[in-house]
Amino acid sequence: MLKDKLQPFIERYEEITKELSTPEIANDIKKMTELSKEQASLEELVNKAKEYIEIDEAIKENKELLSDEEFGEIAKEELAHLEPKLKELEEEIKILMLPKDPNDDKNIYLEIRAGTGGDESALFVEDLFKMYLRYANNQGWKVEIVSSSEGSAGGYKELICLVKGEKVYSKLKFEGGTHRVQRVPATETQGRVHTSAVTVAVMPEVEDVEIDIKPNEIRMDVFRSSGHGGQSVNTTDSAVRLTHIPTGISVAIQDEKSQHKNREKAMKILKARLYEKQMQEQLQKNAEARKMQVGSGDRSEKIRTYNYPQGRVTDHRINLTIYALDEVMNGALDLIIDPLIAHAQAKALEEQNS
């Protein structure tokens, strides 16, 4: 019975509330932070659980009154309102009780890279970045460009930014993959529609304890930063390339004037890339988690098409097509993200019930 399954969550929430009011916890910042996070993750479920139990009790009371001459009609009206509400709450609670993705609350590194399509692809990297920036602003998140490499005709060959805020990964985790754009480039004189592609990678920001890199596994190369067109913008070797020898994964950063700052940024991105690699490997091993994924999560998978002549956006993983391209590019990404999340939750519920 659902009510019995909910009780442990309520008890744990109340236990945390008591613990947080003790002097021992008040003096232990690390423990207090851990407990506060756990409490916040339980809050919505516990509120819904209490409401569910309350409504369930009210339904029982009203059913007992159905045969009463004086209150029978009122009880019938109450039940007509309460029973659908209980059913609705039950569905919401089932979703809230699904196993949580441990990365959902994390900030992310968002990497957008030009693919096929030359200059047009680099221009679309900038358009996608602006779309994510507007969406982030709508969510109250902060975005910081960590590294960028400009295209020869504008836009970016590659752009990496750090997106910070509440539940960033949970909202953007399905954005990884190949994004295709179909439109008439500014340089096209015949008015022909060209198809270009951009790849997006979504990498959770990781703590040092989550990814262990030994110093002898890293090779560091330094070189001079170069600006747009290749001219030197720095007379010292401040740009840094870090290579993780066992995997061959490398990160080059040249945005800062200080070699130390570039190394620090490169190390953070390297850790995020290694963590993402581990996640992919784990996903391949774990058949159950793979079934719950929306798409493969592989950046080579074509996930979405932005068709400008038709004003259309299509997400190929869930066969979703919407004719609201302008709104999406202006940051109304919830039009796609919400159906993706709902689809993933429905698949997870199916798995749980099978």
Q: What is the phi/psi pair of residue 197, to 5°? A: -135, 150
* DSSP strands (E only) in 206-317: 218-223, 239-244, 249-253, 302-307, 312-315
Which pLDDT value is given to residue 235?
54
Query: In whole angstroms, what is the distance from residue 203 CA to residue 190 CA?
Result: 40
Whether residue 79 is found in the same domain as residue 115: no
Which pLDDT value is given to residue 256?
81
Whether residue 9 is found in the same domain as residue 130: no
Whether residue 33 is found in the same domain as residue 130: no
Which pLDDT value is given to residue 287?
58
Name the residue among 292, 336, 298 with its Cα closest to residue 176: 298
Domain harbouring 296, CATH code: 3.30.70.1660
Domain harbouring 68, CATH code: 1.20.58
Q: Write the pLDDT tens digit of every residue in 55-83.
A: 999 999 999 998 888 888 999 999 999 99
Whether residue 144 is found in the same domain as residue 188: yes
Which pLDDT value is given to residue 229?
40
Q: Write the pLDDT tens digit of every residue in 199-242.
A: 999 999 987 667 778 888 889 888 877 654 444 444 567 889 99
In the predicted model, residues of the chain with pLDDT beneath 50 are 228-234, 292
Whether residue 213 is found in the same domain as residue 278: yes
Residue 85: which domain range?
2-96
* Structural domain contains residue 352: no
- Which pair of structure tokens corresponds to residue 5? 């399954």
Which pLDDT value is given to residue 89?
94
Count structural domains, the chain: 2
Task: State which of 66, 96, 126 marks the end of a domain.
Answer: 96
DSSP per-residue codes, 46-57: HHHHHHHHHHHH
Cβ within 8 Å of residue 234, ≥6 positions away: 224, 225, 254, 257
Whether residue 126 is found in the same domain as residue 14: no
* Structural domain contains residue 43: yes
Which pLDDT value is given to residue 232?
45
